[in-house]
Structure 1
Amino acid sequence: MAFQILASTRFFDAEAEQLLVDHGCEVRRTGLSQDVQDDTIAPGELDRLLTGIDGWIVGTALVTRDLLTKHPQLKVIARRGVGYDTVDVTAARELGRRVIISPGGNEPAVADHAVGMMLALAKRLREGHLAMQADRWSPLVGTELCEKTVGLVGFGRIAQAVGRRVRGFDANVLAYDPHPNNEAANAIGARFVEMPELLGKSDYISLHLPLTEQTRHLFDRNRMLQLKRGAILVNTARGGLIDEAALVELLRSNHLMGAGLDVFEGEADPSKREHIKELIALPNVIASAHSAGSSREGLMRTNRLAAKSVLDVLNGREPSPQCVVV
């Protein structure tokens, strides 16, 4: 009997689907548009879609204890991405289900996005566009990335990819990480420093940390006041690393030249979106809706990795250790 797979992610490409079919699986789709996230599926409809499903490749939908309990035949949940905060991991462990993530597939896309935000803010592209719409044609004076100092807070694979890219602009790269990888730093010409030095010397700061109790609001008002005046802050990591109310204040006062934000504390909580509205209204903010990793190429890589991990679990093989949550 063929394994039944539900692919509820936005943009699950034909190549990844064919990989599953070629290995004897039947793939069920949600019928949603490619532009619709699966967290919009009504609970009752999601319950129906999961009936008889052995493996679920999921985007942003909540994987709850209730769903897992209702569908005891569901053996593996593969998150198309690296975050798994939408999955009740405790329930999955207790119920004997496997939870898989897909690291590595979107790293180039996120690194490109971070550098793109740096350049857009440095050249004041949004401000210039708005000025032209208002029929104001006077050039705005921006700054450069060339030969500036870029501080990477967190030094995982995406941060390293950002470091490689900005070295192409002859930038000086500083890094802070509680667990420094000196070999990786040497490979891209980065230098590990303590946080105060990074904050005081960096013209651009790019965040690449997970969100934990220790890192929540790591960039609060006091820490952001330690940044060089006129610095540019970019966050493509996790909402909640930055105190958004304080960021609004420091952008309005021009302590910071600008901020590039792909993630927000209130993106999953409408009650916390007041500061998001304030931020995206500012002319010196470039914002995107947690889409840094959503390149066509990146999504295809993560789809394939998720599909391969699902096949491994269903066929009794152990997936790659970097993919395993439970």
Structure 2
Amino acid sequence: MTRSSRRVVVTQRFFDAAAIAYLESAGCEVVLADLPPGEADGGLDHDTLAALLKGAQGWIVGHARVTRFLLTALPHLAVVARRGVGYERVDLQAAADLGRVVTIAAGGNDASVADQAIGMMIALGRRFREAQAQMNAGAWSILMGSDLYRKTVGVVGLGRIGRSVVQRLSGFEAEVLVATSRPDPEYAARTGVRIVDLETLLAQSAYVTLHAPLTPATRHMIDAAAMARMAPGAFLINTARGGLVCDRDLLAALEAGRLGGAGLDVFESESDPALQPVTDALIARPDVIAAPHAGASTREGLARTNMIAARCVVAVLEGQDPPAGCVVADGRPGRGARP
């Protein structure tokens, strides 16, 4: 592939000048999708995506669905680079079968999402939303809150973001319980965390924060039964993926007063619009701190993930290996990276 034939389409907002300059320095023609105001690429249908990506060799994508049907319609597309770390909307098997490479921006948004998770814990415990609402209404009475200091915090998932959260919790002298499918005894000994099963974590934690990938095994891992095992008044934070929590069950648990509150950056309605009324009811509650899947969206975090995605695209187009930890599917002959 000659440098002059490298067309890279970006269907994400906030793609910065430094990442564009990097791609252009590698001979790429960068095309930024003109998305309607307030819309993301997750809402683009097959025909729109196929038209945008016609003739492209690289695609830097947000939350669009990358299907076998779409990949088959784009024979020139060599690499799909997620500007993020989740990839449940990408058909990895199809990508590998069709000889494509799929990458994530590993390490780019760890700090940003971890900061948000800690911020949500503090905001919930100290009842920031409720206090400001009262002040706006003219009532300056003090609401009694809860410390994060020396509390027991349950961290579900021990990937890059989960470890970043653990690191931050050390400053609060928290007792940290971790539930993970990949225990790391050396890490536990070094950091002082306790590796436990999910049931123990739920029963003993004042705060539960989710940092697991969404897979068939983890879907609805926090449902009505799991919430019934949580300590009364505990806080649930989900900055990972909406499908990890059954949002209907969460709404019911909050309405029943079982939980102290929830911090939510992700919702099931992102992939199932029929659940939008549940999302609306959750974000209207005074005991919920909500954000529109914005955990990674800081200037610094997006600059990091933009550049990692750009480096992944250039590496693949030049026949090289992307940065360590970024490849999630590689269908190139002899590479052997299968989902």
Q: Shorter-chain TM-score: what band?
A: over 0.9
Of 270, 276, 282, the residue aligned with 1:279 is 282
Query: AA paired with 1:295?
Result: T
Q: Is 1:65 aligned to 2:49, yes or no? A: no
Of 227, 230, 251, the residue aligned with 1:248 is 251
Count of equivalent residues: 326
Question: Which structure 1 residue ranges, 5 or more long, are not aligned?
Answer: none
Aligned counterparts of 2:162 and 2:94: Cα–Cα separation in 1: 32
Query: AA paired with 2:225?
Result: N
RMSD (Å) for aligned C-alpha atoms: 1.8
Q: Is 1:115 aligned to 2:115, yes or no? A: no
The residue matched to 1:175 in structure 2 has which SS? strand
Q: Is 1:166 aligned to 2:169, yes or no? A: yes
Alpha-carbon distance, 1:183 to partner: 2.3
Of 75, 78, 95, the residue aligned with 1:75 is 78
The residue matched to 1:96 in structure 2 has which SS? coil
Aligned counterparts of 1:70 and 1:195: Cα–Cα separation in 2: 43
TM-score by length of 2: 0.90
Alpha-carbon distance, 1:86 to partner: 2.2
Alpha-carbon distance, 1:42 to partner: 5.8
Query: AA paired with 1:88?
Result: D
Aligned counterparts of 1:113 and 1:62: Cα–Cα separation in 2: 26
Of 6, 11, 19, the residue aligned with 2:9 is 6
Aligned counterparts of 2:224 and 2:51: Cα–Cα separation in 1: 47
Kept after mapping to 2: 8 A contact 1:10/1:35: no
Q: What percentage of aligned pairs have identical amino acids?
A: 48
Kept after mapping to 2: 8 A contact 1:61/1:86: yes
Matches within 5 A, 1:25-64: 25-32=28-35, 36-41=39-44, 43-64=46-67
Partner residue in 2 for 1:179: 182
Partner residue in 2 for 1:290: 293
Of 268, 272, 282, the residue aligned with 2:271 is 268
Question: Which structure 2 residue ranges, 5 or more long, are not aligned?
Answer: 330-339
Alpha-carbon distance, 1:36 to partner: 4.1
Kept after mapping to 2: 8 A contact 1:260/1:286: yes
Gap change, CA 1:242 and 1:31, over 3 Å in 2: closer
TM-score by length of 1: 0.94
Of 169, 192, 213, the residue aligned with 2:195 is 192
Alpha-carbon distance, 1:185 to partner: 2.5
Partner residue in 2 for 1:220: 223
Query: AA paired with 2:219?
Result: R
Kept after mapping to 2: 8 A contact 1:150/1:172: yes
Alpha-carbon distance, 1:156 to partner: 1.5
Aligned counterparts of 2:273 and 2:112: Cα–Cα separation in 1: 27
Q: Is 1:90 aligned to 2:70, yes or no? A: no
Of 115, 134, 141, the residue aligned with 2:144 is 141
Query: AA paired with 2:298?
Result: S
Partner residue in 1 for 2:210: 207
Alpha-carbon distance, 1:57 to partner: 0.9
The residue matched to 1:24 in structure 2 has which SS? coil
Alpha-carbon distance, 1:211 to partner: 1.6
Q: Which moved more, 1:25-34 or 1:246-255?
A: 25-34
Q: Is 1:21 aligned to 2:24, yes or no? A: yes
Aligned counterparts of 1:157 and 1:186: Cα–Cα separation in 2: 18
Aligned counterparts of 1:308 and 1:33: Cα–Cα separation in 2: 27
Gap change, CA 1:64 and 1:163, over 3 Å in 2: same
Aligned counterparts of 1:304 and 1:127: Cα–Cα separation in 2: 39
Aligned counterparts of 2:191 and 2:314: Cα–Cα separation in 1: 36
Alpha-carbon distance, 1:14 to partner: 0.7
The residue matched to 2:209 in structure 1 has which SS? strand
Aligned counterparts of 2:193 and 2:259: Cα–Cα separation in 1: 24
Kept after mapping to 1: 8 A contact 2:88/2:214: no
Deviations 1:37-80 (A, max 9, x none): 22344654433332221111111222233332232111111111
Aligned counterparts of 2:252 and 2:47: Cα–Cα separation in 1: 43
Partner residue in 1 for 2:232: 229
Alpha-carbon distance, 1:274 to partner: 2.5
